[in-house]
Amino acid sequence: MTTTARSTLASAFRRAALPLGCYYTVTLLMPLANGAAQSGVAFVDHAVVVLIVPLLLILVFCVVDAAGRLLARTWRGRNQSSGSGIVAAACRSGGVRFSGAQTRE
């Protein structure tokens, strides 16, 4: 994992710390305070899902974001270097003139 990817992931987890803390409080600590631990395996299964799924979702969103940024950077680089397309053609020809436009030369 590169340093940039590691810092992006760490930043995502830091931004999610407060919402995750609130979520964990409501979904784990409050049921424990109300006696949910007595239900045994059912609560443990619930706790594992509650702990793992949000962390995996943050990881997936970071990967999707990184892929989108990579594609955007690749797309920009390809379009800038290729010199093709309407905008590039207009730049090469000196501009676009519209039939009704008055220009001073």
Residue pLDDT, tens place only, 11-53: 999 999 999 999 999 999 999 999 988 888 999 999 999 999 9
List the alpha helices (DSSP H) in 34-100: 41-82, 86-93
- The domain spans of the chain are 3-89
Tokens of residue 99, six digits: 């039939």
Q: Please, what is the average pLDDT of the chain?
A: 80
7, 77, 82, 88 from 91: Cα distances, Å: 39, 17, 13, 5
Tokens of residue 86, six digits: 């309407």
* Confidence (pLDDT) at 104: 55
User: Could you tell me the pTM of the whole model?
Assistant: 0.63
Tokens of residue 85, six digits: 């397309």
pLDDT in tens, 48-94: 999 999 999 999 999 998 888 889 888 887 766 555 555 555 555 55
